[in-house]
Every structure is written in C-alpha cells, then in structure tokens.
Amino acid sequence: MHIPTHFMLSWAVGHRLPARRDRVLVAWAGIAPDLDGLSLLWGLDAYGQWHHVIGHGFLGALITTAVCGFLGQDWARVALLAFAAFHLHLLCDLLGSGLDWPIQYWWPVSNDVYATPYGWELDSWQNWSIAVAALLLMLRLGITTGHTFGECFVSAKVDHDIVRTLRNRFKWQTSTSSRPAAV
C-alpha cells in the first residue's frame, strides 16, 4: 500500500485522542514499519532482501509501541493504538503490496514468511480506491473533529487554518443554533 494511505489510516486510528502529540505518535507508528525501506540506501538487492523483514514484524512492533507509549501523554492508550496502527500497516501490506512481498513477522527468531493469495498489486484499483476513501475520511474528520492528519507535518496554527478552510468550503456549521428552524 502507498505510504500516504498508510499515514491517513494510521492517523484515523488515533484521531480521537485529545492530545495532539498522542495523535501524531499513533500516526507515525503506522508508518514505522517502512523504516526498513531505508535499506534501499544500500542498493536494490538490500532493499529486496530486507524490506518487509526488519521493520515488518514483532520486534518492530514492540519497539514502536514502547517508544510511542513512553513519549505519549496518555501512555497506555497511545501504546495500544500505536500497536494497532502498526499492525494495520502490516495487514494493508499483506493485501496491497503485491503477491511477491511476504512479511517475515517473527524475524529474527524465525525466517518463516507470511503471505496471502488474496492480495493485489501496489498500483491497483483497490489501493487507489482505499486511498480516495481515506482522503475523503480525512476531510470528514478534519471538519468534524477540528484537526487533520496535517497536524503530523505542520504547526497547530496551520492545522487550525486548514480546518477553518475546510469548514468554510463545505459550509459546515459549528452549532445547531445557526441552522434554519424546521417549519
């Protein structure tokens, strides 16, 4: 699955957390498995050998969960949601990264690979449909919650401006008193 889609889905996992930092930590936890993609810096062979191995398993999940829980304000909820976002990434990769990309979940303890025959290719209509649905969900959550997944990249003021723009563009009312009365 595409990284921006992973990001949007992961942010959605933690979007109800009250603290901005906690929401951001959960969103980044859902991207953490792809840190093993940095193996590309050592060449295509290294990428082919290590992507979906080092970061896409229980060891990566434990490290990510521990770091996010430690840094979070509501450490227990952040850790739980970071663990969920991490594993959502793995599920999305199993389904949406192509049949040639299995995951070695128990590495380095075991070299067993996990794959599914029900997956689809990275550049497929399924992945693009999920990406569009996630983007629409992000718009909806931004309008209704008052913060967007953009908060992972921009200041709180800029995120507030994004929300205000979305609400103005889609004429969202912040209170029911401004709606016309039923006759």
Residue 111 lies in a domain: yes
Residue 183 lies in a domain: no
Residue 178 lies in a domain: no
Residue 161 lies in a domain: yes
On the question of pLDDT at 61 being above 60, the answer is yes
Q: For residue 157, give its domain range.
A: 3-172
Between CA 82 and CA 65 the distance in angstroms is 6
For residues 46-67, give the mean pLDDT. 91
Which one is predicted more confidently, 178 or 35?
A: 35
Number of domains into which the chain is organized: 1
Confidence at residue 124, expressed as pLDDT on a 0 to 100 scale = 95
Between CA 104 and CA 60 the distance in angstroms is 11
Residue 129 lies in a domain: yes
- In tens, the pLDDT along 31-50 reads 999 998 888 888 989 888 88
Residue 135 lies in a domain: yes
Confidence at residue 177, expressed as pLDDT on a 0 to 100 scale = 43
Phi then psi dihedrals of residue 59, to 5 deg: -65, -45
- In tens, the pLDDT along 123-177 reads 999 999 999 999 999 999 999 999 999 999 999 999 999 999 999 998 866 554 4
CA angle 96–24–79, rounded 5-degree value: 80
Residue 94 lies in a domain: yes
% of the chain beyond a pLDDT of 90 = 78
On the question of pLDDT at 73 being above 50, the answer is yes
- Neighbouring C-beta atoms of residue 78, cutoff 10 Å: 25
